[in-house]
Structure 1
Amino acid sequence: MYEGAFPHKRYQKTLEFLRTHVPAPGTILDLGVRNPFVEFMEKEGYQVSNTSGEDLDLHTDVVKNSTIEIVTAFEIFEHLIAPFNILQDIKANKLVASIPLKLWFSSAYRSKTDPWDRHYHEFEDWQFDWLLEKAGWKIKARDKWTHPVKRLGIRPLLRLFTPRYYIVYAERSD
């Protein structure tokens, strides 16, 4: 449907995963400010609203007071100091979330120009699973994929076969 239309491999993989586990139509609260991926979800038939840039470590009312059934969080939890708090406070019963995985050959991401664009956490898959389970979620499906870059060197070579992104579909277990 979108052959060649995705600016990133992760957009394609994320939309395929979402489509498989939470087919449209559906109403989604996407954690984080509106971003280009939201347009792909809307074209797919989802009705999407976003959080408004509030500090989700401190202000979880947006998910506590929401009646939306599906929450998505694509590359958000690694930026939070305490992702457990918002995960526990989500009232929706379905969650689709992705994170960048910790890479043994690369340090955590930190923007040199934007003081807010940094990763406080880069999880291993088992750590993210544990966090979700402790916050009351039951993982129903998961996937990983690589993120090759068009550069020469040892790290770009390792990125060809080392998974960089991890995505899960979870439901409330309580």
Structure 2
Amino acid sequence: MYEGTFPHKRYKNTLEFLRKNTNTPSKILDLGVRNPFVEFMEKEGYTVSNTSGEDLDLDANTVKNSDADIVTAFEIFEHLIAPFNVLRDIKANKLVASIPLKLWFSPAYRSKTDPWDRHYHEFEDWQFDWLLEKAGWEIKDRQKWTHPVKKIGLRPLLRLFTPRYYIVYAERKQ
């Protein structure tokens, strides 16, 4: 539907994964502030609300009080000190979440200009799986993809074939 119009490979892969594992119309609570990807979800027929930028480690009321069918969390959990608590507080029975994977050849991300924009966790896939399982989720589908960059060097070369993003579809354990 949107072939060739995505600003990022990540958007294309994320939307395809969401389509594959969820139905429209559905109400989504997207963790994090409204962002350009929300428009892609809305064009697909999802009704999306977002959290307001509150620190979800300290204030998860939006999550606890949501009546959404699905919770999405795209590159959010690596910023939280205690993602387990937020995962336990989700009321929806469906979760689609993606994370950047820990790369052995690159240090954890930390913005030089924004003191809040940093990764407290960079997970390996098995660690994220374990976190979800301990928080009461059963993974039904998963996918990884690379994130090449248009630069020259050893790290850009490694990014051509080393998966950077990991996405899962999980359902609340009964």
Q: TM-score interval w.r.t. the shorter chain?
A: over 0.9
Q: 2:154 matched to 1:135?
A: no
Instruction: List gaps (5 residues or longer) in structure 2.
Output: none
Q: Distance in 2 between matches of 1:24 and 1:159?
A: 34
Query: Shift of residue 109 of structure 1?
Result: 0.5
Q: Distance in 2 between matches of 1:160 and 1:107?
A: 17
Match of 1:26 in 2: 26
Match of 1:8 in 2: 8
Match of 1:161 in 2: 161
Q: What amino acid is the match of 2:15?
A: L
Query: Shift of residue 67 of structure 1?
Result: 1.4
1:120-173: CA deviations, max 9, x gaps?
000000000000000000000000000000001110000000000000000000
Aligned pairs, number: 174
1:90-140: CA deviations, max 9, x gaps?
010000000000000000000000000000000000000000000000000
Q: Distance in 2 between matches of 1:43 and 1:68?
A: 18
Match of 1:109 in 2: 109
Q: Distance in 2 between matches of 1:154 and 1:24?
A: 42
Instruction: List gaps (5 residues or longer) in structure 1.
Output: none
Kindly, what percent of the aligned residue pairs are identical?
Answer: 83
TM-score, structure 1 length as denominator?
0.99
Q: 2:57 matched to 1:57?
A: yes
Q: What secondary structure is seen at the aligned counterpart in 1 of 2:17?
A: helix
Q: Distance in 2 between matches of 1:99 and 1:11?
A: 13
Q: Distance in 1 between matches of 2:81 and 2:94?
A: 23
Match of 2:74 in 1: 74
For the aligned residue pairs, the C-alpha RMSD in angstroms reads 0.6
1:24-51: CA deviations, max 9, x gaps?
2111000000000000000111000000
Match of 2:44 in 1: 44
Match of 2:35 in 1: 35
Q: Distance in 2 between matches of 1:145 and 1:70?
A: 23
Q: Distance in 2 between matches of 1:7 and 1:68?
A: 27
Query: Shift of residue 23 of structure 1?
Result: 2.4
